[in-house]
Amino acid sequence: MTVESALRGAAPHLLLDSLRTSLARLYAATSADLLLIDYGFTSLRPVEPVRAPAGDRHVPVDAGPAGRVFRTQQPYLFRDVGPTATVYLPVTVRGDRFGVLVVGLPEDRATPDTTASLGRVAETLGHALRVADRHTDLYRTTRRTHALTVAGEMQWDTLPGRACSGPAFDLHAHWEPSYTSGGHLLDWSVTEDEILLIVADGAGPGTPAALVSTLALTAVRNARRAGLDLVGQASLTDQALYGQYRGNSALAALLLRLDLATGAIEVVDAGSPTLWRIRDTVAERVELDRQLPLGMFEDTVYATQRLRLLPGDRLVFVAHGTSSPGECGTPDGPVARALEHVRGVDGADTPEAVVKALRASPGGARDAVLVLCLDWHGQGTRSPDPVADPDRTPGTDAPDV
């Protein structure tokens, strides 16, 4: 029986037990442990059938071989003193980093070929975890250093994850605080040809904001899955929010469609979070024509603007809360300083670095912050669509990014 078939047949809460049996049979493994990243991205925590006392056996994410593997996403073979060796392997699915698999092996089995084979096992485990997570609380319980608020639980249950990668793009997100909720909204959908995404500021703190975001997210997914374009998605979400809250809980949002082959972008800016572009290490804000936030008035009419990326461009979306100072989005404000501070940082680490820089900087965001980083590699071959759109309302064009 292969590892994959064994994991498929295992009970959701017994994946690790099944994996240990398979690894012992196939690789003579002496041990196998799974460390999952906590919600705050601060520590790697072991999966255990009975949860250990708080603080036991957790591994700081910025220290040790497990932390190194999580950060670099490269396997690491450590040869112990004696007859054993330890292999550390990233557990990641399409760019979304779950944790680290730690496997003990006899020294004579610790070869590069075995390490490569175990890397594929770790990837298979990641896919199995994603499915099992729907059927057991074990893995979500493991990821907590302390209790989530009800609003935080709602946010983690509705948001799609922290990352998604494909041949033409890498997308990474980070938000703080991680155990409570600022109501920020994030979602995406990927096909072979395009990415559709939405990023929105929170409507305030706590459960009321989480309820607003949950309604908006459900509405935009409903519109997207019904085949509506960006304007249709914005309009349906606008109507859902206004119908429920009568303008008292509007949501500032940005809806975007990226053609993965050409870099052509359509965007609806509904009073949105700020959008920045980094090209050749130079960061500058993308100026968009802001329209009314979603749910502010009944039957608001939205229009798209068009932009275009160049290969290697990075977009950074910053939702910094309704109580943040207005100068956050200015060319010399906290966001610009934060982006300058993280210049050259890998895309996977950029959102967390920007969030931390913003929350630590004078005049920066003190409340909830969400940052999304989208890198476009420019692997497409099609010619971009013309910027002109005869069906769009005149005056809504924006310059190429």
pTM of the full predicted structure? 0.89
Helix, strand or coil, per DSSP, at residue 303: coil
Helix (H) or strand (E) holding 46: strand 43-46
| pLDDT (0 to 100) of residue 56 | 57
pLDDT in tens, 110-121: 999 999 999 999
294: pLDDT strictly greater than 90: yes
What CA–CA distance (Å, rounded) separates 198 from 317? 10
Sheet with 274-279: strands ordered across: 163-166, 169-176, 369-376, 314-319, 274-279, 282-285
Is the Cβ–Cβ distance between 229 and 220 less than 8 Å? no
- H helices present in 203-257, as ranges: 206-225, 230-245
CB 358 within 8 A of CB 379: no
Give residue 349's pLDDT.
Answer: 92
CATH of domain 3-142: 3.30.450.40
| Phi (first) and psi of residue 330, to 5 degrees | -75, 160
* pLDDT, position 1: 77
Q: What is the pLDDT of residue 358?
A: 86
pLDDT tens-digit series, residues 16-70? 999 999 999 999 999 999 999 999 999 999 998 655 544 457 899 998 999 999 9
CATH placement of domain 150-376: 3.60.40.10
Any idea where the domains of the chain sit in the sequence?
3-142, 150-376
The lowest-confidence range among 15-29, 90-104, 158-172, 382-396 is 382-396
Residue 345: how many other CB atoms lie within 10 Å:
15
82 exposure class (CB count in 10 Å sphere: 0-12, 13-18, 19+)? exposed
Q: Which residue has the tokens 């349906």?
A: 236
Cα separation values, 361 from 9, 27, 239, 331, 356, Å = 50, 50, 37, 15, 9
Length of the chain counted residue by residue:
401
Burial class (CB in 10 A: 0-12, 13-18, 19+), 166: middle
In this predicted model, what pLDDT tens digit does every residue of 305-357 receive, in sequence order? 999 999 999 999 999 864 444 445 566 688 888 898 788 889 999 999 999 88
Q: pLDDT class for 366, splitting at 50, 70, 90? A: low
Query: What does the pLDDT average to over 218-244?
Result: 98
In this structure, are residues 173 and 162 in contact, taking their beta carbons and an 8 Å threshold?
yes
For 161, the token pair is 């994850």
Mean pLDDT along residues 116-144: 96
